[in-house]
A and B are shown apart, each in its own frame.
Chain A
Amino acid sequence: MVTVQPATAQPDARGHFGRYGGRFVPEALIKALDQLTAVYADARADPEFIARLNGLLADYTGRPSPITEVPRLSEHAGGARIVLKREDLNHTGSHKINNVLGQALLTERMGKPRVIAETGAGQHGVATATACALLGLQCVVYMGEVDTERQALNVARMRLLGAEVIPVKTGSRTLKDAINEALRDWVTNVDTTHYLLGTVAGPHPFPVMVRDFHRVIGLEAREQMLARYGRLPDAVAACVGGGSNAIGIFHPFIDDPGVRLVGFEAAGDGVDTGRHAATLSAGEPGMLHGALSYLLQDSDGQTIETHSISAGLDYPGVGPEHSWLKDTGRAEYRPITDAQAMDAFQLLSRTEGIIPAIESAHAVAGALRLGPELGPGALLLVNLSGRGDKDVDTAVKWFDLLEEHS
């Protein structure tokens, strides 16, 4: 299992994917970003680092994650055969651990004793707290106050793991503001602290580095599809918040022109209601959190507050490589509403006995719509980025609410 490989499509030396990406951050952070870039380049070329990371991915995370064909769900997909990539089965319950272990090892390599992270759904926070416990690093997680309430289970998990969770009460009190607070902490404590960013957004080198740590998803899935079906899938689907699970599964298929790449964003109440988080569907290029990318912003360049039932997708930005893939036409991005995602959440639970994270339910809902377009017999690979234990409270409220009205 090789996880860190030279990738086919690279940004330029300063982290630009076409016009997107780059570094729109205070000068105070540049030295740390340069150090991270250098240490990462060095680690990529170090067989010992790669062996250690692959060892953890196998023995600790439980990789490779399996693929599971889901015929009872596929009955609702117009004849297409849906195959799930089971990132929900990873230790800690989502894809986030792939990137976290890589960056945690880099933190050790840089000799920094302290790690900070942002989290939305809490999955990245839990994965970070886990890796810090494993490696004996101090861990502080910033989480929007709204998210600490809707993902309370994960707050408890992080605290059990020894992390300090700081509820963020500024702005929209969700993921965007958690990243703002993490950046403020980083600027203040950068000598001792690594900012373990949880998605493919942020200043260079985060988008390329986080992508590389998640490529294992697509590399495994590609081999697994070839081994089981003797061919590549017709399409690959994933949900897109910041875009890490999507780029992880997309990237190894980018040079396969026959494979459609489709990302599903959170459309909340609907893209035309204004209450959504569908950045690539409805945004325009702008800078947020250190990179130029599509952004939900008003006509004055102020970031717009987003809405999604899914804390992990409730973010007005997106990783710059996705902006580039959208503009080049190599990938497509479509919106999925809260209601569509929750229907898929329930359908997957009831037809296959798999309770997905609400984030991942957006990808499942997308697949159910993509299936009929692909036609009978098509193979549709869906990244099931996480499991739904954390979302049971939200689900109880959502479905009870529907019952009251029916």
Chain B
Amino acid sequence: MTARLAPLFEACGADHRAALIGYLPAGYPTVDGSRALLRAMLDGGCDLVEVGVPYSDPVLDGPTIQAASEAALRAGVRLRDVLSVVESIAAAGGRAVVMTYWNPVHRYGVDSFARDLAAAGGLGVITPDLIPDEAQDWLAAAQAHDLDRIFLVAPSSTDQRLAATAAATRGFLYASSVMGVTGARDVVSSAAGTLVSRVREHALGLPVGVGLGVRNGAQAAEVASFADAVIVGSAFVTAAGAGVPGVRALAADLATGVRRHAAQLA
């Protein structure tokens, strides 16, 4: 089966540009508040949103996303709220995937979660602490419910693991540009470009998204020059402090960034 995200990457390819993917945790600052912010990301120019599942022990997240997750949990967000946020995005014609640490899904039931996410109109799941080696039930459920499975690779991944992870992936491969946790950074790591070219040797044709650290249009343009998607998380969480206008403005800046390269080509 073709990837649910294939049409997105085909359209961006035809425009000679990278896709823009924005992340925000569901339930931050409230469930309805997060609906409005995710909407603003799409209005501002994101091609796809990652709806984050707030989790008590986010070991791959830096202080910004940790604080947002904690706030969302304190406000009482539940996994079923995350599904309802996805549903409202999809109902409005937006594209959404879920980003989640694995225990909430394990607890909900892997197949039930896949079924309910697909029914809500979600397109796939990004799994920061689930490697394909441990993902048998998820791979089966994703297959059964036609969801993309987006695994991560890192600069430390060996060639063998890059190949195996790419083979298990559908939709796009998520390349963490640095060794470290999430958080906006001043410069885009040089490791990102190297990692993307290594991935391309092992997985011709599989789109590669680069995340961890991007925070403005200039950085987005730089990443867009070698990746198929630019993924922005912590910077959106920070922008959420300025509400819907802040998030829309950041999305617009980043959207210009991912088109700069195409403009130069034209």
Residues of A within 8 A of B (CB): 14, 22-32, 170-171, 176, 180, 183-184, 187-191, 286-290, 292, 295, 297, 299-303
Whether A297 touches B151, Cβ cut-off 8 Å, given contacts A26-B129, A27-B161, A31-B158, is no
A301 and B108 contacting across the interface, CB-CB below 8 Å: yes
Whether A299 touches B179, Cβ cut-off 8 Å, given contacts A26-B154, A287-B102, is no
> In this assembly, does B41 line the interface, its C-beta being within 8 Å of a C-beta of chain A?
no
Q: Which residues of A contact B13 (CB under 8 A)?
A: none
A24 and B102 contacting across the interface, CB-CB below 8 Å: yes
Q: Which residues of A contact B158 (CB under 8 A)?
A: 31
Sampled A-B contacts (23; CB under 8 Å): A22-B134, A24-B103, A26-B152, A27-B153, A27-B176, A28-B157, A30-B157, A171-B70, A176-B57, A180-B59, A184-B59, A184-B60, A184-B181, A187-B180, A188-B179, A286-B103, A287-B102, A287-B103, A288-B57, A288-B103, A290-B129, A292-B106, A300-B78
The listed residue (A27, A180, A290, A299) touching B152 by CB distance below 8 A is: A27
B131 and A27 contacting across the interface, CB-CB below 8 Å: yes
Q: Which residues of A contact B154 (CB under 8 A)?
A: 26-28
A300 and B60 contacting across the interface, CB-CB below 8 Å: no
Q: Which residues of B contact A303 (CB under 8 A)?
A: 56-57, 103
> In this assembly, does B73 line the interface, its C-beta being within 8 Å of a C-beta of chain A?
yes
B165 and A27 contacting across the interface, CB-CB below 8 Å: yes
- Per-residue CB contact flags for chain B residues 126-161 toward chain A (1 = under 8 Å, else 0) read 001111011000000000000000011111111001
Q: Which residues of B contact A289 (CB under 8 A)?
A: 57, 59
CB distance from A303 to the nearest CB of B (A): 4
Given contacts A27-B157, A30-B131, A301-B55, 18 further A-B contacts (CB under 8 A): A25-B131, A27-B153, A27-B156, A28-B155, A31-B161, A32-B156, A170-B66, A171-B57, A180-B59, A184-B60, A187-B180, A188-B181, A287-B102, A290-B129, A297-B103, A301-B103, A301-B106, A302-B55
B161 and A30 contacting across the interface, CB-CB below 8 Å: yes
Whether A302 touches B152, Cβ cut-off 8 Å, given contacts A22-B134, A25-B129, A30-B157, is no
CB distance from A17 to the nearest CB of B (A): 14
B176 and A28 contacting across the interface, CB-CB below 8 Å: yes
Q: Which residues of A contact B66 (CB under 8 A)?
A: 170
The listed residue (B59, B161, B165) touching A183 by CB distance below 8 A is: B59
Give the distance in Å from the alpha carbon of A32 to the alpha carbon of B156 in the complex.
9
**Among residues 60 to 100 in chain B, which have CB atoms less than 8 Å away from a CB atom of chain A?**
60, 62, 66, 70, 73, 78-79
CB distance from A190 to the nearest CB of B (A): 6
The listed residue (A24, A31, A301, A302) touching B134 by CB distance below 8 A is: A24
Give the distance in Å from the alpha carbon of A288 to the alpha carbon of B79 in the complex.
18
Residues of B within 8 A of A (CB): 55-60, 62, 66, 70, 73, 78-79, 102-108, 128-131, 133-134, 151-158, 161, 165, 176, 179-181
Q: Which residue of A is nearest B77, CB measured?
A: A300
Give the distance in Å from the alpha carbon of A252 to the alpha carbon of B234 in the complex.
49
CB distance from A398 to the nearest CB of B (A): 29
Give the distance in Å from the alpha carbon of A302 to the alpha carbon of B105 in the complex.
10
Q: Which residues of A contact B176 (CB under 8 A)?
A: 26-28
Q: Which residues of A contact B152 (CB under 8 A)?
A: 26-28
The listed residue (A191, A287, A297) touching B179 by CB distance below 8 A is: A191
A23 and B134 contacting across the interface, CB-CB below 8 Å: yes
Q: Which residues of A contact B131 (CB under 8 A)?
A: 23, 25, 27, 30
Chain A residues touching B, majority SS:
mixed
Whether A301 touches B105, Cβ cut-off 8 Å, given contacts A27-B153, A28-B154, A30-B157, is yes
A300 and B156 contacting across the interface, CB-CB below 8 Å: no
Max count, chain A CB within 10 A of own CB: residue among B60, B155, B161: B60
Give the distance in Å from the alpha carbon of A108 to the alpha carbon of B108 in the complex.
43
B157 and A297 contacting across the interface, CB-CB below 8 Å: no
Q: Which residues of A contact B161 (CB under 8 A)?
A: 27, 30-31
Give the distance in Å from the alpha carbon of A189 to the alpha carbon of B102 in the complex.
24
Give the distance in Å from the alpha carbon of A170 to the alpha carbon of B58 in the complex.
11
The listed residue (B57, B104, B130, B155) touching A300 by CB distance below 8 A is: B104
Q: Which residue of A is nearest B107, CB measured?
A: A301
CB distance from B25 to the nearest CB of A (A): 13
Q: Which residues of B contact A184 (CB under 8 A)?
A: 59-60, 62, 181
CB distance from A233 to the nearest CB of B (A): 38
Q: Which residue of A is nearest B154, CB measured?
A: A28
B107 and A299 contacting across the interface, CB-CB below 8 Å: yes
CB distance from A296 to the nearest CB of B (A): 11
Give the distance in Å from the alpha carbon of A25 to the alpha carbon of B157 in the complex.
13
Give the distance in Å from the alpha carbon of A26 to the alpha carbon of B79 in the complex.
22
Give the distance in Å from the alpha carbon of A124 to the alpha carbon of B156 in the complex.
29
Q: Which residues of B contact A286 (CB under 8 A)?
A: 103, 106-107
Whether A302 touches B104, Cβ cut-off 8 Å, given contacts A24-B129, A26-B128, A176-B57, is yes
